[in-house]
Amino acid sequence: GENVEQHPSTLSVQEGDSAVIKCTYSDSASNYFPWYKQELGKRPQLIIDIRSNVGEKKDQRIAVTLNKTAKHFSLHITETQPEDSAVYFCAASKGGSYIPTFGRGTSLIVHP
Amino acid sequence: ETGVTQSPTHLIKTRGQQVTLRCSSQSGHNTVSWYQQALGQGPQFIFQYYREEENGRGNFPPRFSGLQFPNYSSELNVNALELDDSALYLCASSADINTGELFFGEGSRLTVL
């Protein structure tokens, strides 16, 4: 089955800095890569996703890049704000049933 | 539009007992998935239901079972509870089996003593 590795497990940055979270996946058939944000005590919520037919997608301060050859994808957050503090999960899934396999999560802490 | 709701929010059980968790999917959604999230871990897939049929199952023993009802609400049953079953159980619905975005509920926090 699919295996998703996520790094780092904890990331601490100053407000205004950029943050990068990296994930690798094992199944070359995976073609959908969502990122979820989970604030403390809250439900995970989708913040951005990318499909395998594109290499990069951007939405305001967040962007995701995908390298299919290397089987890795990354989340980039620019101009971080304290409200970006949360746990971020990457995931990978295949079309058809879209059952994602999640990474272990990255706890992002943005210091004011 | 009503979001995904789960009940109960918290519960405590003892080893060997049975538990039923419930989920109402978001309006218009016909696919429901259940996940187990241990503390400090990512959600682990338990199973998915599409139009009342099980569509996929993760690496969980048969004592984890589920149902989806005609109104697309769902329940997760766990028999013979073990200490390691203590976790947050998340339900997520999606508009259809071929759409990627999952809409999660707030979860049911199960503690097994």
Answer whether A44 sits within 8 Å of B94, measured CB to CB: no
Percent of chain B whose predicted confidence (pLDDT) is above 70: 99
What are the chain B neighbours of A43 within 8 Å (beta carbons)?
A: 4, 90, 104-107
Residues A92, A101: contact at Cβ < 8 Å? yes
Q: For chain A, how are helix, strand and coil distributed in percent, rounded to 5?
A: 5, 55, 40
CB B49 within 8 A of CB B55: yes
Block residue for tokens 């929010």: B9
Q: Determine the residue type at B112.
A: V
The pLDDT of residue A94? 85
User: What whole-number distance in Å separates Cα of residue B22 and Cα of residue B88?
Assistant: 13
The CB density around residue B71, as the number of other CB atoms within 10 Å, is 9
Residue of B33, B53, B57, B101 to mutate, testing the A interface (most A Cβ within 10 Å of its Cβ): B101
Contacts of B56 in chain A (CB under 8 A): 97, 99
What are the chain B neighbours of A103 within 8 Å (beta carbons)? 42
Q: Report, as an integer, the average pLDDT of B44-65.
A: 94
Q: Which ranges constitute the DSSP H helices of chain A?
A: none
Here the contacts of B38-41 (C-beta below 8 Å, separation 24 or greater) are: B38/B86, B38/B87, B38/B88, B39/B87, B39/B88, B40/A104, B40/A105, B41/A104, B41/A105
pLDDT tens over chain A, length 112 residues: 889 999 999 999 999 999 999 999 999 999 999 999 999 989 999 999 999 888 999 999 999 999 999 999 999 999 999 999 999 999 999 876 778 999 999 999 999 9
Structure token pair of residue A82: 């304290």
Across the interface, whether the CB atoms of A98 and B97 are under 8 A apart is answered yes
Give the confidence band of B1 by pLDDT, cuts at 50, 70, 90: low
Interface size between A and B, measured as CB pairs under 8 A: 61
Chain A contact for B51 (CB, 8 A cutoff)? no
| Distance between A10 CA and the closest CA of chain B, angstroms | 11
Q: In this predicted structure, what is the pLDDT of residue B40? A: 87
**Nearest by Cα to A74 from A38, A37, A21:** A21
Band of pLDDT at residue B83, cut at 50, 70 and 90: very high
- In terms of C-beta density within 10 A (0-12 exposed, 13-18 middle, 19 or more buried), how is residue A82 classed? exposed
Q: Closest residue of A to B43, CA-based?
A: A102
Cβ atoms of B92 and B101 closer than 8 Å: no
Instruction: Pick A98's closest partner by Cβ from B43, B59, B99.
Output: B99
Name the region of B102 (left: φ>0; alpha: ψ -120 to 50; beta: rest).
beta
* Chain A interface mutation, best of B45, B54, B108, highest count of A Cβ atoms under 10 Å: B45
